[in-house]
Amino acid sequence: MSEVRDWNVLGRGSLPALVGVEVLEVGAGRVRSRLAVRPDLLAPNGYLPAASAVALADTSCGYGTVASALAEGRGFTMIELEVNVLAP
């Protein structure tokens, strides 16, 4: 996939679209994306939960991995993802 539009279409019908991940740029070694903070993504206390931030981070990392994969690659899986929240 070479067009940003293609990456956004890829997420339709799955978690990236559900939470509203928007891909802005995908290239070798670089992904820029964003997530609009909406009331339905917040925890009951009004803060943005780590789960919302992790959805953005995991999607971006996955897309970056796919964009950077070698042609002979057949897939990947996330082994570890750590999130430290300082101020939600």
Render pLDDT for 10-25 as a digit per residue (tens, 0 to 9): 999 999 999 999 999 9
Model confidence pLDDT, tens digit, residues 48-65: 888 999 999 999 998 988
Decide if 62 is inside a domain: yes
Decide if 43 is inside a domain: yes
Which pLDDT belongs to residue 66?
86
Decide if 41 is inside a domain: yes
Give the CA-trace dihedral at 30, 35, 41, 45, to 10 degrees: 90
Decide if 87 is inside a domain: no
What is the total count of domains within the chain? 1
Average pLDDT over residues 64-68: 86
Question: What does pTM read for this prediction?
Answer: 0.83
**What percentage of the chain carries pLDDT values higher than 70?**
93
Cβ-defined contacts of 79-85 (< 8 Å, 24+) = 81/54, 81/57, 83/50, 83/53, 83/54, 83/57, 85/50, 85/53
Decide if 53 is inside a domain: yes
The CATH number of whichever domain residue 42 belongs to comes to 3.10.129.10
Judged by DSSP in three states, 10 sits in: helix
Domain that holds residue 44: 4-68
